[in-house]
Amino acid sequence: MAITTTKSAFWKGFRDSAPFIFMASPFGFLFGVLAAEAGLIVPEAFAFSLAVFAGAAQFTALQLMQENAPLIIILISALAVNLRMAMYSASLTPYLGDAPMWQRALAAYFMVDQSYALSIVKFEAEPEMTAPQRMAYFFGTNGIVAPAWVIATAIGALVGTRIPDSWGVDFVLPLAFLAMIGPMLRTPAHIAACFVAVATALPAAALPYNLGLIVAGIAGMIAGAQAELWLERQKTKMEAAQ
Amino acid sequence: MSSIPAPLLWTVILGLAVGSYALRFAFIGFMGGKPIAPWLMRHLRYTAVAIIPALVAPLVVWPAPTDGSPSLMHFAAAAATLAAGYLTRNVLCGLGAGGVSLLLLYLAA
């Protein structure tokens, strides 16, 4: 159904994003529980989710703080996980770049995986949407998911303080990361990036100051980019041969 | 579990808040319609899928609950989580599979 008004665009985004509540809430809750286990109090966990608003980066920072990694490594690693947000920002600019500055400034805060994924698909499918409608749709995709994420964190932190240490939840964080990796492995290039990062990270774990993480991350990134180039060249060759 | 010092925690929260916002704002705010260089785009695509596995690999091979000695039980739970997440393309299915297999292995041990 075509979108006719700005208001209906917002509600369309709102409805399209509804299934993501079932993703954001448990993950926010889990972050809250693990933050509480790491010694964070409820307002700290709440502020963390509200200010940073990026699940994978928050889990990364939480893990590294518990490993007593140096501040600079914590920041670099968690921000590296968030570098994809710059890509989202670049990719949405042709669609949202003409909006007023205050709207763009606000939109930047809400630039997350699910709002990007829903919006880019919508904007490409319906090029006749006006700029205000696009912005409304984008904000709509965050209308319920964003509050759900932050509130779930706070509830998780409340519950987390009541979980006895003997339950041994300290392997849950690695499992959460692994669950995130699975769906990320979309192409052979993603798998190459993951494989090289793991193969580098294990021996590099011997490096001081958690530097191994940065080294392995860079190695994986380069592997992914090179694999992508190689795959493209193979495809071109195949097409030329036909 | 060791508690995180408050000054470190708040520095991390503020640093990540400002840094993440800057990354999100960079193009939509400053660059206007200027396209991002293809080589940079190509590397950005693989940052998360490189950093997160690099972070998690040592945690699986030398798990914290056993004080770092390799454990088949934890490795199996990790493999189940990754496989389920990959096959279903769903984070929660992966996490569920991992949790259940960890519980089963724990009860069996």
- What is the pLDDT, as a whole number, of residue A53? 92
Residues B58-76 have a mean pLDDT of 88
The Cα A230–Cα B53 span in angstroms is 22
Residue B109 distance to chain A (closest CA, Å)? 15
**Does residue B2 carry a pLDDT above 60?**
no
What does R_g of chain B's alpha carbons equal in angstroms? 19
Chains A–B, number of C-beta pairs less than 8 Å apart: 298
**A116 Cβ contact list (under 8 Å, min separation 6):** A88, A91, A92
- What is the pLDDT, as a whole number, of residue B67? 84
Q: What is the pLDDT of residues A106-161, one digit of tens each?
A: 999 999 888 988 898 889 888 899 999 999 999 999 999 999 999 999 999 999 88
- What is the pLDDT, as a whole number, of residue A226? 96
Q: Which chain B residues are closer than 8 Å to A119 by Cβ?
A: none
Q: Which chain B residues are closer than 8 Å to A183 by Cβ?
A: 85-86, 89-91, 94
Q: What is the pLDDT of residues A150-171, one digit of tens each?
A: 999 999 999 988 877 666 677 8
16-55 in chain A: CB under 8 A from chain B: 22-23, 26-27, 30, 37-40, 44, 47-48, 51-54
86-105 in chain A: CB under 8 A from chain B: 86-90, 92-94, 96-97, 101, 104-105
**Does residue A1 carry a pLDDT above 60?**
no
**Does residue A89 carry a pLDDT above 90?**
no
Range from A66-70, A92-96, B57-61 carrying the lowest mean pLDDT: A92-96
- What is the pLDDT, as a whole number, of residue A81? 87
Residue A2's pLDDT band (cuts 50, 70, 90): low
**Does residue B109 carry a pLDDT above 70?**
no
What pTM was computed for the model? 0.83
- What is the pLDDT, as a whole number, of residue A41? 92
- What is the pLDDT, as a whole number, of residue B1? 45
- What is the pLDDT, as a whole number, of residue B91? 82
Work out the burial of residue A165: count CB atoms within 10 Å of its CB; fewer than 13 is exposed, 13-18 middle, 19 or more buried.
exposed
DSSP structure string for A77-146: HHHHHTHHHHHHHHHHHHHHTTS-HHHHHHHHHT--HHHHHHHHHHHHH-TT--HHHHHHHHHHTTTTHH
**B87 Cβ contact list (under 8 Å, min separation 6):** A182
Residue A16 distance to chain B (closest CA, Å)? 17
Residue B39 distance to chain A (closest CA, Å)? 8
- What is the pLDDT, as a whole number, of residue A241? 84
**Does residue A80 carry a pLDDT above 80?**
yes
Reduce the DSSP state of residue B40 to 3 states and report it. helix
Q: Encode burial over B58-77: b for 16+ CB neighbours within 10 A, e otherwise.
A: bbbbbbbeeeeeebebbeeb
Side chain identity at A63, as an amino acid letter? Q
Q: What is the pLDDT of residues A177-219, one digit of tens each?
A: 898 898 889 899 999 999 999 999 999 988 887 888 889 999 9
Name the percent of chain A lying above pLDDT 90.
Answer: 55
- In this complex, is the C-beta atom of B15 within 8 Å of any C-beta atom belonging to chain A? yes
Q: Which chain A residues are closer than 8 Å to B45 by Cβ?
A: 84, 87, 189, 224-225, 228
Residue pair A13/A132 in contact (Cβ under 8 Å)? The answer is no
- Helix H or strand E segment including B80: helix B72-88
On average, the pLDDT of chain B sits at 86
The Cα B44–Cα B23 span in angstroms is 11
Query: What's A18's DSSP letter?
Result: G
- What is the pLDDT, as a whole number, of residue B32? 60
Name the percent of chain B lying above pLDDT 70.
Answer: 93
Q: What is the pLDDT of residues B80-99, one digit of tens each?
A: 999 999 999 888 888 889 88
- What is the pLDDT, as a whole number, of residue A52? 94
Q: What is the pLDDT of residues A18-56, one digit of tens each?
A: 888 888 888 899 999 999 988 999 999 999 999 999 888
Q: Which chain B residues are closer than 8 Å to A97 by Cβ?
A: 28, 32-33
Calculate the alpha carbon distances from A230 to A204, A220, A227, A237, A238 in Å: 26, 15, 5, 11, 12
Work out the burial of residue A111: count CB atoms within 10 Å of its CB; fewer than 13 is exposed, 13-18 middle, 19 or more buried.
buried
The Cα A13–Cα A9 span in angstroms is 6
